[in-house]
Structure 1
Amino acid sequence: MIFTWTPHRFSGGALALDVANSVILRSDPARRTDRFEVTEQMQAFSAAAAEFSAERALFGEIKPVAEPNRKDFLALREAIDGYFRRRVEGHDDRVLLANLLQACARMLKQSASEATLEAATARSALRLLAETDRLKICGNCGWLFVDRSRNRSRTWCDMAVCGNRVKANRHYRRKKEAMP
């Protein structure tokens, strides 16, 4: 499936989370969609990340994933999601942390340049280890995101999309219940 990378797809607040969020409806096997399944989509992600990612100032222009690194990059994505999702759920799993650190090390070792998506994603994941108390899971779509609000009250990855959907659905239900 071909689609356009939009700012909403980069609402995680960190490149590593945007990469992890490239799997849509991760918890629903019947509707799960991997945005990186099509190689061209993964390659286009690099250019979009340089434009939309919250960490674009840190990483700037990012080269796409090199074909030999594709499998390890996808393993890094799963390690990022696995560790940080469990961490948000209240579990500090040392095995998942070790898997994440090994995947990051592998990507940094394989990347000849720091300007690759693989290296930038690994560095982003390592930076997130210091912000785990700010990580949340969107109440609508299930994406991981960094809550940088002052009082840490953010509920959705993107208010304009997920927040709006939840509020519209709530309004619809209230209105329907009020009807005789």
Structure 2
Amino acid sequence: MTFSWTPHRFAGGALALDVANSVILRFDAARTIDRFAEHGQMDAFAAAASTFSAEKALFGELVATPPENRQGLIALREAIDRYFRQRTLGTNNRQLLADLLDAVADALRSATSEQSLESATAHSSLALISAPQPERMKICGNCGWLFLDKSKNRSRIWCDMAVCGNRVKASRHYRKQKDDHS
């Protein structure tokens, strides 16, 4: 299966979150998809992140992760998701933070350059850990992705209004129409 890395796939607002969100429907075992498990998709992600990531100006043109570092990037991705998901849910677990920092250190030690996907993801993670407003990180009410709410009044509930917001609204409208005609 091939995927298209569209701007929606970078709705997290930070490269680290976009990497974490490379697992689709993470908590639905029957439908979950790890996009990095598909051959060539990790390389395609690095190229697309250079264009679509909210942090593209910080990292410039990203270099694909070499085969020997891919497991390290996956470990970093999983540590990012575990830590920030729990923090968003109100649990500040020191062990999850330590695990994330270990994964960041490993990624930085093995990175082939500052522009490598694993190095940029590690730096993005560190910036998120020290972000001045951690309450701006949220979990999408539709797809479960992590994202930064950069709205003025902090009222976003979807990672991307054009995709997740529309799906929720369309589903709600369909159910209302169905109930009205029953």
Question: What TM-score does the superposition give when structure 1 sets the normalisation length?
Answer: 0.97
Please name the residue that 2:62 is paired with. 62
| Superposition deviation, residue 166 in structure 1 | 0.3
Is residue 2:56 matched to residue 1:45?
no
| Superposition deviation, residue 112 in structure 1 | 3.2
Alignment of 1:84-95 (within 5 A): 84-95=84-95
Please name the residue that 1:137 is paired with. 139
Q: What value does the CA root-mean-square deviation take over the aligned residues?
A: 0.9
Identity across matched positions, percent: 63
| Superposition deviation, residue 175 in structure 1 | 1.4
Out of 171, 174, 182, the residue aligned to residue 172 of structure 1 is: 174
Q: Hey, what's the Cα distance between the residues in 2 that align with 1:97 and 1:90?
A: 14
Q: Hey, what's the Cα distance between the residues in 2 that align with 1:40 and 1:135?
A: 30
Alignment of 1:50-129 (within 5 A): 50-129=50-129
- Number of matched pairs: 180
| Superposition deviation, residue 39 in structure 1 | 3.2
Moved over 6 A (4+): none
Encode CA deviations 1:119-159: one digit per residue, 9 max, x unaligned: 00000011111332210000000000000111110000000
Letter in 2 for 1:103: A
Q: Hey, what's the Cα distance between the residues in 1 that align with 2:52 and 2:102?
A: 28
Q: Hey, what's the Cα distance between the residues in 1 that align with 2:129 and 2:165?
A: 26
Question: What TM-score does the superposition give when structure 2 sets the normalisation length?
Answer: 0.96
| Superposition deviation, residue 7 in structure 1 | 0.5
